[in-house]
Structures are given as C-alpha cells and as structure tokens.
Amino acid sequence: MDRGGEGSADEMAAGWLARLNARTVTTQELDSFYAWRRIPANAAAYARAERVWRQSQRLEADPEIAAAIEEALDRPRSRSLWHSFSRRRLLFAGATAVPIAAAGAVALWAFDRGEVHETLPGERLAFMLADGTKVDLNTASRIRVYIDGRSRRVTLERGEALFAVHRDTGRPFIVEAGAQSVRALGTSFSTRRTDDALRVVLIEGQVEVTSQGAAPARLAQPGAAALARTGRPVEQSQVDLDVASAWTRGKLIFRQTPLTAAVAEVNRYTGQQVELGDNALAQQRVDGVFEAGDIDSFVAAVTTIFGLQARSQGHIIILEPQSEAAPKKS
C-alpha cells in the first residue's frame, strides 16, 4: 500500500484502517503498516481512526454515502480511499475527522460483508490476515474473515483451512462452520467442513470446540482431533499430524486407509473423478504417499496393488476387477 507521502497521519491512518479490513492483505503490506505504526504519532492516529470507525455505523444509513462506499470498494487500489467522498456530504465532528469517518465507513461496510478468500479444485493458497494470523487454504475451500479492533471471526463456508493464530488475549480467534465453532487465542489448528460436520485437528496450543446441543470439548495435545456435528456429542480422537497436515505440503498420505476414503480424498484435488465399479473394493486398505492432484499415479498404484483395471468414461475413471478376458501379466 503506497501512500507516497500523501496526507496527514490521520488520513494515512484512515487509509490503513480501510485497507487492512477491506481486502486481502499481503505480507509486504503488513510489514509496511507495522513500520508506519512504529512512529508514535502514527500509532496515535491509528488508534483515533479505530475509535471513529466504531462510531461510524450511522453513516451507512445515508444512501449517498452507501453508494460512495460501494464505488470506493470497486476503485483501483492506486486511488486513495478518502478521495471517493465529498467532505460536504460528511457532517462529522471536526475537519480532520471527516476523512477518518469516510474511510472508517468503507472499512465497516466491508467488514459487515466479510473479506473472502477461496480456492478452486486443485488450488492451495497461503496468506496472512490483517491481525498476523497465517492461513493455509486447501483445495475447493472458501472462508469469510471479519476482523476489527474488538474481535476476530472467520466463517469456514466450505473446504479446509489451517490457521496459525497470532496471539491476542483481548481478541479470541473464532472459526465458525454452521452450528459448530472453534475458539483459540494463540495456537495452530486445522478445520475441515463436510456437510453439517466440522473436523478440528490441533497442531499446537489449545482450542475449544463447540457444537449446538452438545457440551464443549477442549483440545490440549498436539494431534488431538474433534468431530463436531449438530445435536451430537463432540467426538474426540488422536490423529497422526504428519498425515493430517500433509496437504499443506502438497501431499496425500494414506496409512491403512479404506480405498473408498482414499478415492474421496484424491477426488478433491482434480476435475477428473475416480469411482469404484465394485462395492467389494471399498474396504481394501491403501498405504502410500501421493502428490495432491496427481490422479494418474494414484490410479496406476491401486490398479497394480489390487489387480484392478481402469476404464475411462468421460471425466470419470472407473476402477473395477480385471475381467477374465483381460490378459494377465507374467
């Protein structure tokens, strides 16, 4: 975020407030922000901007301001946010407070909608949130982030994400998925949403997992896992962290995994899909390490191990026992 020396400390603070809450934030931008805020006058200006932001909810009620906010959010990032507003339209206490309130309204509007991060099948994304929390977003996943001066909340709308949470005792970090949620301060954990269930694996630290209609469960040991489903007690177990976090390294690790579960996992990472042509194959056990998205290597391995044949049908690969007519390997 290059401000080029433009504006006062208050105007810069307003711009940073909107930037940190309204769009994806890069590590380089965070470094620039922290360097800027190390100057005492800038830190004080940013604190003032946050206070004004919290008081600026009423600005949204003005349709002209609402339209200006939408316009500001859609403008190229090279244009300063506070230039999108007419000072004559913003009757706020004091001339200096006007640009702060304007940018604060932009940030508040964006905060209400949340900051969205998502991946397509086969993609993986690593980035940092405005509070310093590091996120790994797995294939076909989507999160919506809400962070302000008082709270940190993420909605896992689909898929899987790993969070290395920046410690902030005044603002617990909460991940929600339907009726389930995870609460943490400074810790690392992964979350995966499937239908009405949320699976949580603790990497380090402690988290509390809650589910509607069930008592909360606390995870305190690395590798501790919880499966939370609406109306059921939270199920706890212990998992292999190397296996559970393999996707963050672009790998899929199977250790005595039922073939049907291995196929379902492989299918998450590619447009092609594998299907089992015989239900009797479902409980065959798979061991191995595969590159996420490399469906050909997986198919080659399981057909060899279990004596299967692969038959293509459009974008689907069907695995089935070799027919009697198929030539046998010597």
In this structure, are 278 and 200 located in the same domain?
no
Is the Cβ–Cβ distance between 102 and 17 less than 8 Å? no
Query: How many domains is the chain built from?
Result: 3
Q: Does 120 share its domain with 231? A: yes
Phi, psi of 268, rounded to the nearest 5 degrees: -65, -25
Q: Is residue 198 part of a domain?
A: yes
pLDDT in tens, 219-252: 999 999 999 998 899 999 999 999 999 999 999 9
Q: What is the DSSP letter of 280?
A: G
pLDDT of residue 4: 40
Is residue 69 in a domain?
A: no
User: CATH no. for residue 316?
Assistant: 3.55.50.30
What pLDDT sits at residue 25?
A: 60
| Domain residue limits at 39 | 8-48
Q: Which helix (H) or strand (E) holds 236?
A: strand 235-238
Shared domain check, 120 and 148: yes
Binning pLDDT at 50, 70 and 90, where does residue 77 land? very low
Q: Are residues 256 and 286 in the same domain?
A: yes
List the one residue out of 207, 206, 42, 24 whose CA is nearest residue 119.
24
Tokens representing 7 are 């504006």
219 and 150, same domain (yes or no): yes
Averaged confidence pLDDT in the chain: 80
In a domain, 187, yes or no: yes
Higher pLDDT, 64 or 221: 221
- How confident is the model at residue 254, as a pLDDT? 97
Tokens of 289: 């390490």
DSSP sequence for 91-116: --SSTTHHHHHHHHHHHHHHHHH-EE
* pTM for the full predicted model: 0.66
Q: What is the pLDDT of residues 106-155, one digit of tens each?
A: 444 444 567 889 999 999 999 999 899 999 999 999 999 999 888 899 99
In this prediction, residue 292 has a pLDDT band, given cuts at 50, 70 and 90, of very high
pLDDT of residue 299: 96
Q: Look at residue 121 and tell me if it is in a domain.
A: yes
Residues 184 and 283 in one domain: no
| Domain boundary, last residue among 213, 239, 265 | 239
